[in-house]
């Protein structure tokens, strides 16, 4: 079983995970169809979607709508398996109850990471174009936490088929036919080399960041936001049932693959990486019983 990030292309990952992911996805769809069938007051005309944002969130959490303006809502945010809504609902309620975020430090096993008694926390943060030289589309951080000591860029996943991928055109699968816009983002490539220890891009050969594009982008953002005086932390939240995020045949899963890849970067002080499943995180969140019931009944998270 290879734990070398550079050894996995998008095609190889999909070939290994696709079948088991199909089983996982159908299981989620069956669950959400049943959930919305039992709660018609929350359902839309679509059997797998809520009728509006308030209905998609935990009971009494409609105040969280202000943290997710309409122009920042994913196209499928009302879908039962929307990672955006799972993150907003659970992290938003936890943050409202305990804004010190010590519960997040504990879950990441990074005690003392944050110095402020109330660090700044924001959802769906669009980065300034000049930070990573991105335009017109810029990276968005799902949950951004920062104070004078550290910057945490958290990427929340749930029912997705893996990590986000580069959309550059390619003459053939996984060939480095990168767009000029991506080539003109030096922090992407510096992070790929200095943090992920990926090989240099070679025209005509598989692109070194094609499969890990979203991870590289998040790590680059954490480093750029942190600067020289703060600790950059990249966090991956995931559903441990999802085949893309656990071992599936020869595929080690994104958490283990990234842990192995990024462990040297932490020892060198370049980036701290943590992968935590929703199942691991839930017991550590300062949530009330209705929120825990929502996680269990709607998303089968225990």
> 45 in a domain, yes or no?
no
Q: Tell me the C-alpha distance between 190 and 186, whole Å.
A: 6
**Bridge partner residues of 183 (DSSP):** none
> 139 in a domain, yes or no?
yes
Q: What angle, 0 to 180 degrees and rounded to 10, lies between the N-to-C axes of helices 10-38 and 289-299?
A: 110
Length of the chain: 302
For 177, 195, 261, 299, the CA distances from 267, given in Å and listed in that order, are 33, 11, 12, 36
Number of domains present in the structure of the chain: 1
Of 119, 107, 58, whose CA–CA distance to 87 is shortest?
58
Q: What per-residue confidence (pLDDT) applies to 278?
A: 98
Q: Are 277 and 240 in contact (CB under 8 A)?
A: yes
> 216 in a domain, yes or no?
yes
> 302 in a domain, yes or no?
no
Q: What per-residue confidence (pLDDT) applies to 5?
A: 87
Task: With 0.85 as the threshold, say if the pTM is over it.
Answer: yes
- Give the angle 74-80-86 at the CA atoms, nearest 5°: 70
> 83 in a domain, yes or no?
no
Q: Are 131 and 221 in contact (CB under 8 A)?
A: yes
Q: Are 266 and 272 in contact (CB under 8 A)?
A: yes
> 89 in a domain, yes or no?
no
| Enclosing domain of residue 214 | 5-34+100-289
Q: What per-residue confidence (pLDDT) applies to 3?
A: 58
DSSP string, 21-64: HHHHHHHHHHHHHHHHHH-TTTB-SSTTBBSSHHHHSPTT-GGG
Residue with tokens 């390619």: 170
> 138 in a domain, yes or no?
yes
Q: What per-residue confidence (pLDDT) applies to 180?
A: 86
Q: Tell me the C-alpha distance between 244 and 28, whole Å.
A: 15
Half-sphere exposure of 219 (CA within 13 A, CB side): 28
pLDDT per residue, tens digit, the chain (302 aa), is 445 888 888 889 999 999 999 999 999 999 999 999 999 999 999 999 999 999 999 999 999 999 999 999 999 999 999 999 999 999 999 999 999 999 999 999 999 999 999 999 999 999 999 999 998 889 999 999 999 999 999 999 999 999 988 877 655 555 777 888 888 999 999 999 999 999 998 877 878 898 899 999 999 999 999 999 999 999 999 999 999 999 988 899 999 999 999 999 999 999 999 999 999 999 999 999 999 999 999 999 98
Q: Which two tokens stand for residue 121?
A: 């926390």
> 52 in a domain, yes or no?
no
Phi and psi of 235, rounded to 5°? -120, 135
Q: What per-residue confidence (pLDDT) applies to 169?
A: 63
Q: Which residues contact 243 (CB under 8 A, 6 or more apart)?
A: 17, 20, 21, 24, 251, 253
Q: What per-residue confidence (pLDDT) applies to 173?
A: 53
Q: Which residues contact 217 (CB under 8 A, 6 or more apart)?
A: 132, 139, 164, 188
């Amino acid at each position: 079983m290879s734990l070398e990030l550079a050894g996995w292309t998008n095609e190889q990952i999909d070939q290994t995970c696709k079948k088991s992911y199909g089983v996982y996805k159908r299981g989620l769809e069956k669950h959400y169809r049943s959930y919305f069938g039992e709660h018609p007051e929350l359902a839309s005309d679509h059997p797998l979607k809520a009728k509006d944002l308030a209905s998609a969130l935990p009971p009494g959490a409609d105040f969280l709508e202000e943290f997710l303006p309409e122009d920042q809502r994913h196209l499928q945010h009302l879908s039962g398996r929307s990672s955006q809504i799972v993150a907003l609902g659970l992290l938003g309620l936890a943050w409202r109850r305990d804004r010190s975020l010590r519960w997040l430090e504990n879950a990441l096993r990074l005690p003392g990471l944050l110095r402020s008694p109330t660090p700044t926390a924001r959802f769906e943060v669009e980065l300034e174009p000049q930070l990573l030289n991105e335009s017109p589309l810029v990276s968005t951080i799902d949950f951004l936490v920062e104070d004078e000591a550290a910057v945490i860029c958290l990427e929340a996943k749930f029912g997705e088929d893996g990590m986000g991928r580069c959309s550059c055109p390619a003459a053939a699968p996984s060939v480095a036919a990168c767009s000029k816009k991506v080539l003109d983002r030096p922090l992407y490539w510096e992070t790929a080399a200095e943090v992920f220890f990926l090989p240099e891009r070679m025209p005509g050969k598989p692109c070194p960041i094609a499969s890990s594009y979203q991870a590289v982008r998040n790590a680059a953002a954490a480093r750029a936001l942190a600067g020289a005086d703060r600790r950059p932390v990249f966090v991956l939240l995931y559903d441990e049932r999802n085949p893309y995020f656990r071992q599936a045949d020869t595929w080690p899963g994104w958490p283990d693959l990234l842990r192995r890849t990024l462990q040297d970067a932490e020892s060198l002080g370049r980036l701290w990486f943590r992968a935590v499943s929703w199942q691991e995180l839930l017991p550590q969140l300062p949530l009330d019983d209705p929120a825990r019931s929502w996680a269990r009944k709607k998303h089968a998270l225990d």
